Amino acid sequence: MKDILTAKFIKEMCDTTANMYRLGWDERNGGNISLLLDEKDVAEYLDLNKVIREIPIGFEAKPLAGKIFLVTGTGKYFKNVAGDPENNLGVVRIKADGETAELLWGYADGGRFTSEFPAHMMSHMARLAVDPNNRVVMHCHPTNLLAMNFVHELDDRAFTRSLWQMCTECIVVFPDGVGVLPWMLCGTNEIGEATAKKMNDYRVVVWGLHGVYGAGKDMDETFGLIETVEKAAEIYMKTAHLPRLNTITDEDLVTIANHFKVNYRKDFID
């Protein structure tokens, strides 16, 4: 059996968490990631019949029964993941009851998955129902996007339009727009349910005055999705207090979307 520390999915998680910490998106133990794994890939590195221990999930996730996830640990710092994956990450499988996770590897210091695990699993269920290729859920605290929350209306349409107008590529990268939630207490099933509801329509969901959730087919796509939203928010924050002499118009947005053949939210265009 191969050494799991050489697995592509472990290396990608280590590289991604290091990058997110470097960019200032995940201070201290802020942020979490879950990646839906292919059972055949995992079987090359782990004995799938060997369960280290069981961990209660805190809600019922029967649609994900039998699925295996690589998940960052609770209270863990992203800056430490690459240097010590076995303590900071875990590979878990959802049991048939949907209420328990089986630990197959990781959390070696006795830890467990992120406190946002229910929100992640709810988002996975929502996104897989829309697109079975969506395998990543990523949560972080991008500085400019968070700052924008304090000075901009927290409304899906208005927030999306402001971001689309900041960079020509935005409507191409997130044509489905951005969902926005009001401030809610994190680490609860309530915010998980609200996020999952938004995930039916969006791959990016802003947690008001907190951070963002992003979903995608792989680490690169999901990271790039949040990276583009954060870049647009940075431009917004650098220019919002200045007189705007130029802008990307609605006509321009339609031209861009049609050229790149993306299915954009037409109800977000005036």
Rounded CA-CA distance 98/79 in Å is 31
Q: How many CB atoms lie within 10 A of CB 182?
A: 11
DSSP string, 162-229: HHHTT-TTHHHH-TT--EEE----TTSHHHHHHHHHHHTT-SEEEETTTEEEEEESSHHHHHHHHHHH
Q: Say which of 12, 116, 227, 230 is annotated catalytic.
A: 116
Q: Which run of H or of E encompasses 159?
A: helix 156-164
44 in active site? no
Tokens at residue 146, please? 């968070």
Report the SS3 class of residue 100. strand
The per-residue b/e assignment along 94-127, b for 16 or more CB within 10 angstroms, e otherwise, is bbeebeebbbbbbbbeebbbbbbbbbbbbbbbbb
Contact indicator for 54, 102 with CB cutoff of 8 Å: yes
Q: Which of 155, 265, 109, 136 is CA-nearest to residue 201?
A: 265
Q: Which of 109, 240, 91, 223 is CA-nearest to residue 166?
A: 240
- Annotated catalytic sites, by residue? 116
